[in-house]
Amino acid sequence: MADLTDIGCCSCFSFLRKPRASVPQPRDADGTFSEELLKRQSAEDPDESFYTGDDPDLSLYNGDNLDGSFFNGDDPDRCLYDEDGNDYLDGSDDGPPRKSSEDIIQSRAQNGFACREIPVKETNKVFRSEDENGNKMVNQYVHLGKIGSGSYGKVVLYRNVEDGKLYAVKVLNKPYMMKVRVVRSETAMTDVLREVSIMKMLNHPNIVNLVEVINDPNIDKFYMVLEYVEGKMVCDNGLEEATARNYLRDIIYGLMYLHSHNVIHGDIKPDNLLVTSSGNVKIGDFSVSQVFEDEDDMLWRSPGTPVFTAPECCQGSAYHGRASDTWAVGVTLYCMMSGHYPFLGDTLQETYDKIANDPVQIPGDMNPQLADLIQRLLCKDPGDRITLQAAAEHPWVVGDKGPMPEYICRCGFGRRERNDFRE
């Protein structure tokens, strides 16, 4: 592989800067990085290698993980310590101080910006019992079985005996999460509480809805009750153009709502895009998301998953969250159409090098309008990258569906003048 200093165009975008510390890289027996190590762990978790909250002393790294994550259950390239205990690409302690997510959201509510008409239910007492069939129950929820693994915990299917509906519940172990450090000043529990704070304010048809939080101070478990969405986006063999267009419109629609509310998702990828029985896409997993007080969306902490990481995030310095989310949308669209990643090397560093330097390979038989959109989304320079609004108006996205309607949130925050909120 050529040295980066031999590639002249790199310097234009500052990709020559080396990471502050080497990435902790679990390797195969021959010392090479398996391609599978750069992908997310299967949601089915057949070997139960994902941390399920039952063993607080479980080691932070499971060598069998198939996603390149550096502790059990977390998304790849999130946490990230080298062998000397130094943070890699986290930057949380190096950036300027910011208000906490809860403070920002509370401030918005005090100023009349409330997305949700019905607030998230908060329960501080857990009652364990069994139904008439011997199934375990937590409060009014009947345990039906594990359905997958999310960041930091297992996801379990429950049925609410009061309304008869199914719910996906994240079950998390509080003592364990308070011991796991994701950056110097934050634990895994910090991430979860931030995720809850952000989801409490969200209300959009293309965003997974948080229904209830159960946090009993007398027990070790923390429960996030989420709406149950039947399927997950599967792109292994590529999708038909019409299907990909419908999915992309939903993704853009939901992400534009987030960005208009100064929320950066941070981990857009097929695994976090759930498909309803009617074919609509909902964005889920806000475990690495950030909310900002104003339009300043600079981030220091590393993004979610290596193969969906934007070029500007590979250099280890601050980057704009909205532009990096937009890049991840481009990678997702490429995966939807081709069934594989646009940039993937044999090692984590080689993957980052490809993201930063290699042109995207467009199949010769691809629809020219679609090819143009992908190239604009996967533009290396974030300043020249197409915006989500422009992507929504792109001819391929519009297609025969017509322009994407504007979503009018009841809070009005996304339509405010910038100085209104500051006042």
What Cα–Cα distance (Å) separates residue 3 from each residue in 8, 15, 24, 196, 351?
11, 12, 21, 43, 14
* Most distant CA pair in the chain, distance: 70
Question: According to DSSP H, which parts of 180-315 are helical?
Answer: 188-201, 241-260
Write out the binding residues for ATP. Answer: 170
* Residue 31 burial class via C-beta count within 10 angstroms: exposed 0-12, middle 13-18, buried 19 and up: exposed
Return the structure tokens found at 271: 């695994």
What Cα–Cα distance (Å) separates residue 132 from each residue in 136, 137, 146, 352?
10, 10, 20, 54
How many helices (DSSP H) and strands (DSSP E) are in the chain? Answer: 10, 17
Return the structure tokens found at 66: 């198939």
Q: Give the C-alpha separation, 423 to 411, whole Å.
A: 16
Q: Give the C-alpha separation, 313 to 336, whole Å.
A: 23
Q: Which residues contact 214 (CB under 8 A, 6 or more apart)?
A: 123, 124, 126, 138, 139, 222, 223, 225
Phi, psi of 309 (to 5 degrees): -80, 135
User: Which is nearest to 370 in space by CA: 395, 350, 407, 335?
Assistant: 395
Given 267, 285, 325, 353, which residue is catalytic?
267
Residue length, the chain? 423
Q: Could you identify the residue written with the tokens 């025969």?
A: 400
* Residue 217 burial class via C-beta count within 10 angstroms: exposed 0-12, middle 13-18, buried 19 and up: exposed
Q: Give the C-alpha separation, 386 to 377, whole Å.
A: 6
Q: Are strands 186-187 and 210-215 parallel, antiparallel or unpaired?
A: unpaired
* 267 annotated active-site: yes
Q: Which residues contact 74 (CB under 8 A, 6 or more apart)?
A: 151, 152, 182, 188
Identify the sign of the CA torsion 249, 152, 178, 60: negative
The residues assigned a catalytic role are 267
